[in-house]
Amino acid sequence: MNKFIRRNLAGYTFLLPWLIGFFALAVGPIVSSLYLSFTDYDAVAAPSWIGLENYEFMVKDRRFWKALSVTFSFVVISVPAKLVFALAVAMILDRGVRAIGWYRALFYLPSILGGSIAVAVLWRQLFENDGLVNTLLGVVGVDGPNWLSDPRYSLTTLIVLAVWQFGSPMLIFLAGLRAIPQELYEAAEIDAAGKFRRFFAITLPLLAPVIFFNLVLQMIEAFKSFSGAFVISGGKGAPLDSLLFFTVYLYNEAFSYFRMGYASALAWVLLLIIAVFTAVAFWTSKYWVHYENERS
């Protein structure tokens, strides 16, 4: 008994800071955010209960649907593009490339800088009407659009920004490729399996757990992305709400208009969307992801 207490005492002492943080900064806020989502609240007067009104309003709120569609388009286009690019570069870097360390570092650098405001500022200027991108397009005879003020093109700038940061999934792919036994490729080559065959029969299935991991991680990241869209859209989702990311909309409702109740409802919807997407990914993964140890 004495030993039992001593053990638990040690364990919980070390866990204490995390436990306080867990309840005060995660569980507590999530629960109170659910409560606030049923209230009208401006952070000054006490919250007043209004039942489902926030959610009813949301269904009719055109900006909510716009924010949802902008965010979905961003996730659905940028995540696969980023992963395909990351995998392609990882496969090229995988074996026998000289100076691999240099390339790896160069390709990873944008991932580290990508979240910074400096890069968001830079991106805005790159896609300015007479910015670098249009100047380059002009060289090959294309009259580039007005990327930042034309709502048809504005999202492209953020998708390019996301794909530019393919470095971290690339590193994870590289580690995954290293773990595939070489003998499999040698055996396949003896059986005269071509490059494509080897890719689809060996690389893809054995890499499936890593692809899955990257997919879930990048998807969550994409749903959460904020600062790039915030800075590039001038803080409001402009032009014509074409950059109204869900997070940007939420921020504005909460901290520009102090509609904390409605913003909390938006936050809960975001949480549910991410949870559903992750759950679907896990559920479908049964059919396309097989782990090494379950086959034995």
Considering only 110, 145, 205, 239, the residue that binds another protein (CB under 8 A) is: 110
107 binds another protein (CB under 8 A): yes
Q: Which of residues 55-84 bind another protein (CB under 8 A)?
A: none
90 binds another protein (CB under 8 A): no
250 binds another protein (CB under 8 A): yes
Which of 15/142 has CB closer to another protein?
15
Instruction: Look at strands 39-40 and 48-49 and give their pairing.
Output: antiparallel
153 binds another protein (CB under 8 A): no
251 binds another protein (CB under 8 A): yes
How is residue 136 written in tokens?
Answer: 């380059």
Shortest distance (Å) from residue 199 CB to another protein: 15
Considering only 40, 185, 227, 238, the residue that binds another protein (CB under 8 A) is: 227
Rounded Cα distance between 141 and 295, Å, is: 55
21 binds another protein (CB under 8 A): yes
Instruction: Count CB-CB contacts under 10 A for residue 280.
Output: 10
Instruction: Count CB-CB contacts under 10 A for residue 225.
Output: 23
Cα within 13 Å of Cα(142), Cβ side: 8
275 binds another protein (CB under 8 A): yes
128 binds another protein (CB under 8 A): yes
Instruction: Count CB-CB contacts under 10 A for residue 277.
Output: 17
Which of these segments, 67-75, 116-124, 180-188, 199-207, binds another protein (CB under 8 A)? 116-124
25 binds another protein (CB under 8 A): yes
229 binds another protein (CB under 8 A): no
Determine the size of the site formed for another protein (CB under 8 A): 92
Shortest distance (Å) from residue 69 CB to another protein: 18
Considering only 68, 176, 243, 285, the residue that binds another protein (CB under 8 A) is: 176
54 binds another protein (CB under 8 A): no
33 binds another protein (CB under 8 A): yes
Shortest distance (Å) from residue 122 CB to another protein: 5
